[in-house]
Structure formats: C-alpha cells, structure tokens
C-alpha cells in the first residue's frame, strides 16, 4: 500500500511514539474513504502518545481531541507543539473511555486505533459510554487488533510466545466483534473488513527498539501474523 501521509512523519519520531502496529498506517487506511470535512471535530480515543491525533489534525485538517488514559497529556502537548500544531487544532485530554468528560452530541466522528479492544468488549459499552458523545449522523472508525479466526480454545504456540491467555482474551475475530457491536441499538455497521496494512504496520512496530516490540518480534517471527489481523469497523449513528 501507499502511505503518502504517514511518510510525512519522521521515522525516528514514529518509532519513538507508536505503542503497537504502526498507528499512522492504520489511521491512513481507516480514513482512506472517510471524507470527513476539514474543521470537523474528532475524538481520537485511546490515542496513546498522540501521533494518530497529530495526523488527523495536520494532514486531515480536523480538530482532534487526543484522549487517553495512560499517557501524559502535557507530554503529548509538547509533542504536538514540536510539530507546529496549536491548541486550536489539537487538544490533549486524560480521559477514561468509560467515563468521557464531554458533552453529549459533541463529536462529528470518533477514531480508535489499537485501543477499542481494551474497553469495547462489554456489550453495554458502545451504547452507554461512547455513542452518546457522537452527533446524530456521526461516524465511528475503529481499527481493532483481531484474529483471523478465534482460537482461544487452543492458541497456537506462536501466539503464546508473547501473550498470556488473559491478554489473548482482548483479541477476537470479525464475527465476535459483529455480534458484540450489533447488540447496540441506534448504530448501523457501515462496513467491517480485514485491513490490508496489518503486516506492514507490524513490521514497523517490531523494528522498534523497546522491550514490548522486542517481545512481540519473537511472536511475529514464530508466525503469529498467520493468525492475527486488524479489523476495520465503520459505524453510523442514526
């Protein structure tokens, strides 16, 4: 795949800020047909170190709220400033996805890259905790780390190299997510498919020099990506 917007970010910066498969490539593929008008307000939920939020603000011209539980919003702000982004373009917020500190109907769209599987596995989550904050007719874009086919009963050795059974419980296949999401009234699944960039995004991640990437590298080299995928989901709020 071609990633012209991702390529506008410095490789060393990307490597220092991603927390899993290259979030810029995942975001660029997820946004490819989104057509969200410039100036719209988007929530980047579970934004981590905020590099996807920076892409949404700088490359797509959106007003991006970078909301995350574990990362430091002040550190993210310094990063955004280093890219020349202002607080009119991007707003870092410490927030729990289960208790979002925003007004109902505030966001034109929500983007979640590599984070929905932490909090979206509760069938009540979407309807109670996220959908209320999206405008009517708004959209939600998810890139979820997934499995090609659920194999929790007998996970292959290559997955067990890096992940415990408890960690694998965060990863499911498309049918599982379809069933989870379709229980929520007031939202329509516009599309759900396997993303093309999974292997490339993982290659960028395991090239990083941090302990998590090094641990995941062993699993990938043992064949984990024969079992894993990334699931893109686009939702429309009625």
Ligand X SMILES: C[S@@+](CC[C@H](N)C(=O)[O-])C[C@H]1O[C@@H](n2cnc3c(N)ncnc32)[C@H](O)[C@@H]1O
Site for ligand X, rule CB under 6 A:
18-20, 23, 46-48, 52, 68-71, 96-98, 113-115, 118-119
CB of 93 to ligand X, least distance (A): 10
Q: CB 56 → ligand X: shortest distance, Å? A: 12
Name which of 153 and 166 has its Cβ closer to ligand X: 166
Separation of alpha carbons 35 and 38, rounded Å: 9
Q: How far is C-alpha 232 from the chain's CA centre?
A: 9
Nearest in space to 142 (alpha carbons), one of 16, 81, 77, 52:
52
What stretch of H or E contains 9? none
Q: Which residue's C-beta sits nearest to ligand X? A: 48
Tell me how far apart the alpha carbons of residues 42 and 139 are, in angstroms, rounded to a whole number: 10
User: Given the complex with ligand X, which of 56 and 187 has the nearer CB atom?
Assistant: 56
Residue 154 C-beta: closest distance to ligand X, Å = 25
Q: Quick one: 137 or 215, whose CB is closer to ligand X?
A: 215
* Residue that is written with structure tokens 């292997």 in the block: 199
- The CB-of-153 to ligand X minimum distance in angstroms stands at 25
Smallest separation, CB 26 to ligand X (Å): 7
41/93 with CB nearer ligand X: 93
In this structure, are residues 111 and 42 in contact, taking their beta carbons and an 8 Å threshold? yes
Strand locations in 95-218 (E): 107-113, 134-147, 187-194
Q: Which is nearer to ligand X, 37 or 199 (CB)?
A: 199
132 vs 63: CA distance, rounded Å: 19
């Amino acid at each position: 795949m071609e990633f012209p917007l991702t390529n506008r970010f410095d490789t060393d910066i990307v490597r220092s800020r991603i927390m899993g498969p290259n979030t810029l490539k995942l975001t660029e593929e997820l946004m490819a047909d989104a057509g969200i008008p410039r100036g719209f307000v988007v929530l980047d939920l579970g934004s981590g170190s905020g590099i996807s939020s920076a892409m949404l603000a700088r490359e797509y011209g959106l007003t991006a709220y970078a909301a995350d539980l574990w990362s430091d919003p002040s550190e993210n702000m310094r990063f955004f400033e280093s890219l020349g982004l202002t607080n009119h373009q991007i707003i870092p917020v410490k927030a729990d996805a289960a208790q979002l500190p925003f007004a109902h109907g505030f966001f034109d769209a929500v983007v979640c890259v590599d984070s929905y599987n932490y909090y979206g596995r509760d069938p009540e989550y979407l309807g109670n905790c996220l959908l209320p904050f999206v405008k009517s007719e708004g959209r939600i874009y998810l890139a979820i780390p997934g499995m090609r086919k659920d194999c929790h009963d007998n996970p292959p050795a290559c997955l067990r190299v890096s992940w415990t059974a408890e960690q694998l419980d965060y990863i499911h296949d498309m049918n599982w997510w379809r069933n989870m999401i379709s229980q929520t009234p007031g939202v329509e699944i516009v599309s759900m498919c396997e993303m093309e960039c999974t292997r490339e995004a993982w290659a960028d991640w395991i090239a990083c020099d941090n302990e998590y990437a090094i641990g995941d590298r062993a699993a990938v080299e043992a064949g984990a990506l024969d079992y894993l995928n990334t699931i893109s989901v686009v939702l429309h709020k009625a």
